[in-house]
């Protein structure tokens, strides 16, 4: 099953566009978890068990694991293996924002897809198609490429106008027309910029869009859903991280995470229903 097929299947099965970001910052873990063995894995496992019927995607950001060295990488691995074993139908995206050249990317691709067992990874476009070809060549895996990101300074380069078009639109067109030959590309487009998101959807009507910026980053749910979904009400991976996984910091943290996840899923679906 390809990345596109798997995403479509789980979206329909769960009736959900919700992606939960497993940005499990060690410093923010509940006290009763933090001092146990494998605290990030135990935290993630609890979040997964509480929310697995509400989501289409889980998305760990590698930075929160890499900062802890070998121990953190091991906990990321355990998390990915747990998902693959218990909930293999749920899409796993590794948010690593990789970009390099030559054999270096062969190593990155092998780490994400072969070692961690991910379905997709986030990538930088700056080095061009040739540089990220090792990812694009994985026909069954997703390459989700940064287009218009959710950070405040995103426009510094992404909005630069070249031949009367902002750079982010040029990137989107290039990926649609030239990079997506294996039908496995997606784009990252931040919820904080709904007008830009709408333009990206017009350029890429059939591509999955990974949409961060909801929740703690303040993106508007209604505007995001209306701008981000495709003609069938899907292909939008709407991510929330901190607002869900850190909704509580006591022993009932997983229960509170579920409440927030269910609330957000339902808010998204309400707009999808109206829009469709």
For 68-86, b where at least 16 C-beta lie within 10 A, e where not — what string? eeeebbebbebbbeebeee
- CA–CA separation, 243 and 222 (whole Å): 17
**Mean of pLDDT over the chain:** 95
* Residue 204 Rama label (left phi>0; alpha psi -120 to 50; beta): beta
Each domain of the chain, given as residue ranges in start order, spans 3-275
- CA–CA separation, 225 and 234 (whole Å): 9
Tell the residue number behind the tokens 């750079």, with chain if given: 167
Using one digit for the tens of pLDDT, what is the confidence trace for 25-43?
999 999 999 999 999 999 9
pTM: 0.96
Q: How many CB atoms lie within 10 A of CB 38?
A: 15
**Looking at residues 146-152, what average pLDDT do you find?**
94
- Give the lowest-confidence range in 17-26, 110-119, 146-155: 146-155
**Known catalytic membership, residue 78:** no
Q: Tell me how far CA of residue 85 lies from CA of 28, 79, 89, 117, in angstroms.
A: 27, 10, 10, 11
Catalytic residue among 34, 45, 78, 97: 97
For 51, the enclosing helix (H) or strand (E) is helix 39-51
CATH superfamily of this structure's domain 3-275: Aldolase class I (3.20.20.70)
Instruction: Tell me what pLDDT residue 274 has.
Output: 65
- CA–CA separation, 5 and 141 (whole Å): 10
Instruction: Tell me what pLDDT residue 215 has.
Output: 65
**Looking at residues 174-203, what average pLDDT do you find?**
96
pLDDT of 90 above 90: yes
CA 254-256-261 angle, to 5 degrees, is 90
Using one digit for the tens of pLDDT, what is the confidence trace for 234-261?
999 999 999 999 999 999 999 999 999 9
Using one digit for the tens of pLDDT, what is the confidence trace for 91-132?
999 999 998 887 899 999 999 999 999 999 999 999 999 999
| Position with higher pLDDT, 27 vs 213 | 27
């Amino acid at each position: 099953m390809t990345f596109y097929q798997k995403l479509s299947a789980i979206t329909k099965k769960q009736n959900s566009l919700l992606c939960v970001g497993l940005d499990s910052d060690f410093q923010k873990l509940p006290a009763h978890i933090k001092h146990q063995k494998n605290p990030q894995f135990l935290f993630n496992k609890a979040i997964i068990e509480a929310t697995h019927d509400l989501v289409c995607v889980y998305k760990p950001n590698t930075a929160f694991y890499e900062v802890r060295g070998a121990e953190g990488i091991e906990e990321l691995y355990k998390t990915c293996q747990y998902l693959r074993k218990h909930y293999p139908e749920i899409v796993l995206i590794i948010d690593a924002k990789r970009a390099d050249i030559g054999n270096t990317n062969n190593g990155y691709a092998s780490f994400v897809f072969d070692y961690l067992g991910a379905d997709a990874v986030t990538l930088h476009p700056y080095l061009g198609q040739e540089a990220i070809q090792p990812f694009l060549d994985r026909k069954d895996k997703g390459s989700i490429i940064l287009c218009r990101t959710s950070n405040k300074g995103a426009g510094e380069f992404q909005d630069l106008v070249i031949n009367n078009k902002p750079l982010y639109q040029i990137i989107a067109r290039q990926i649609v027309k030239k990079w997506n030959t294996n039908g496995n590309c997606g784009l990252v487009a931040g919820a904080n910029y709904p007008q830009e998101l709408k333009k990206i959807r017009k350029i890429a009507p059939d591509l999955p869009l990974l949409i961060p910026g909801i929740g703690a980053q303040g993106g508007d749910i209604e505007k995001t859903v209306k701008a981000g979904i495709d003609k069938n009400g899907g292909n939008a991976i709407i991510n929330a991280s901190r607002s869900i996984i850190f909704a509580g910091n006591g022993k009932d943290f997983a229960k509170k995470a579920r409440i927030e996840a269910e609330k957000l899923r339902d808010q998204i679906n309400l707009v999808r229903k109206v829009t469709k």
